Amino acid sequence: MRSRLRWAALNQAPLTKDVERMLEIVLPLSLGEFSDQRHRYQEQVVAGLAGILVEVEAILNKEVADKRSERDAAAAEKPSRDKQAAEATDKLNAKIAEVHRSKVALAEKAKAFRTARSSLAEAEEAKALDGQKVREAEKKKNDFLLQFENLKTLKTTPLEDSEAKKKNCELMASLKKYKFEESMMIALPAALGKAPDARGQFDLMAINQLEGEIQKGISGQEAILAAAAPGQAKCDAAIKAAQDRLAAARGEQRLAAKAFDTASKEQSECETTSTAAQKAVRENAQLSKRLDRALNNAEVEVELFEQGPRETFKELRERTTPPPMAEVHVDEAAEEEMVEEPATETLEPEEPVVAAA
C-alpha cells in the first residue's frame, strides 16, 4: 500500500520532508485498518490524504491544461508563420528576378555609354587631326626625334658629362611639355642618374619604356602627316552628335545604376526577412513537437495517477470488515438418506491350509 501511494501522495504533493516522513508512518496504520473499524484520528489522516490527492490531481490537471494551452498556441501560430514564410519567399524570388533584369539593363546602358564615349573621342580626335597644321605635326615629330637622340646618348653616357647633363635637361623638359606618363617622369631621373653599368633591371625597363613611347609618338605624327583631314564643319557636326548621344547614354546609365542599387538593397532586405521567416517556421515546428511530447507526458502522468494512487486510495478507504462466513444447517433426515448403507459381500470359505509333510 505504501509503495503504491508514495508516488503521488508524497512525491507529487507539495509536502515538506517532515510531513512525508510522518505520513509514511501513520498511513499504514490508518488505511491499513478497515473503514468501519477506524478511529476518528485515523479518519482524519485518511481525509487529509484525500485532500493531498485532490491537490496532486489538481496540480497534474493544471500541468496538462498549461501544456495543452502552450501546444495550441504554437499550433495556432503555424498557419500564420507558414504564410509569412511563403510570402517572404515569393517576394524574394520576385526581387531576385527584378535585380537580374536591372543588372542586364545596367550592362546594356553601360555598353551604350562606352560606345557613345568612344564615338565622341573619335570625333574629337578627328577634329583635332583636321585642325592640326602640318608644321605643328612636323615640329612635334622633330621634338620626338630629338628626344629619341637625347635618350640614345644618355643611355651610354654618364650624367657627370656636361653634354649629357644638357641633353638630360632637354629630355625632361620635352617629356614634361608633352605630358608623358607621370610614373615614368618619376622613375626616369633616377635611372638616367646612374652610370650605364650600374643600372638595374627596373632602370633599364623605365628607359626602354620611354624609348618605346617616343617611337610611338614619332609614328603617330607621321600618321597625322600622311592622313587627309576632313573639314572642320563636318568634324563639328560629328562631335555635336556624339556629345548628344553620350549625354543621353550617361543619363540612362545613371538611372539604370540607381534602379539596380535600389533593387539590390531591397533584395538584401527580402533575404533577411525570408531567412527570419524560415527560421520562425522551423522554431515553431520544433516547439510544437516538444510541446506535444510534454502534453502527452502530462496526460500519461494524470492517467497513471488516476489508475494507480487514486484508485488504490479509493479501494483502501472504502474497504470494510468482511462479513463472517454463514454456518450451513443440514436436515438430519435428509442427512440420513444421503448416507449410503455399506454393501454386503458374500465371503467364500477359505481353503484349509495343508501342512507340509
Q: Do 74 and 117 sit in the same domain of this protein?
A: no
Q: Do 141 and 260 sit in the same domain of this protein?
A: yes
Instruction: Give domain status of residue 279, yes or no.
Output: no
pLDDT tops 50 at residue 347: no
Retrieve residue 267's grid coordinates.
Answer: 533584395
Instruction: Read off the pLDDT band of 327 (50, 70, 90).
Output: low
Q: Do 194 and 132 sit in the same domain of this protein?
A: yes
Instruction: Give domain status of residue 262, yes or no.
Output: yes
> How does pLDDT run across 28-86, given as a tens digit for each residue?
877 778 878 888 888 888 888 888 888 888 888 988 999 899 889 888 988 988 998 89
Instruction: Give domain status of residue 324, yes or no.
Output: no
> How does pLDDT run across 292-320, given as a tens digit for each residue?
999 899 888 888 888 888 888 888 878 88
Q: Do 126 and 8 sit in the same domain of this protein?
A: no
How much is the pLDDT for 1? 45
Q: How far apart are CA 95 and CA 110, in angstroms?
A: 22
Q: Do 163 and 264 sit in the same domain of this protein?
A: yes
pTM for this predicted structure:
0.47
Going by the DSSP 8-state scheme, the letter that residue 9 receives in this structure is I
How much is the pLDDT for 296? 92
> How does pLDDT run across 40-55, given as a tens digit for each residue?
888 888 888 888 888 8
Retrieve residue 126's grid coordinates.
Answer: 578627328
Instruction: Write out the DSSP string of 21-73.
Output: HHHHHHHHHHHTS-GGG--HHHHHHHHHHHHHHHHHHHHHHHHHHHHHHHHHH
Q: How far apart are CA 352 and CA 357, in angstroms?
A: 15
Q: Do 265 and 294 sit in the same domain of this protein?
A: no
Instruction: Give domain status of residue 105, yes or no.
Output: no
Instruction: Give domain status of residue 327, yes or no.
Output: no
Q: Which domain holds residue 181?
A: 112-270
> How does pLDDT run across 274-285, given as a tens digit for each residue?
999 999 999 989
How much is the pLDDT for 357? 27
Instruction: Give domain status of residue 96, yes or no.
Output: no
Instruction: Give domain status of residue 355, yes or no.
Output: no
> Any residues with CB less than 8 A from the CB of 174 and at least 6 apart, and which?
143, 146, 147, 150
Q: Do 262 and 183 sit in the same domain of this protein?
A: yes
Instruction: Give domain status of residue 343, yes or no.
Output: no
> How does pLDDT run across 208-255, given as a tens digit for each residue?
887 788 888 888 877 877 764 556 677 778 888 988 998 999 999 999
In the chain, the number of structural domains is 2
The residue length of the chain stands at 357
Q: Do 153 and 237 sit in the same domain of this protein?
A: yes
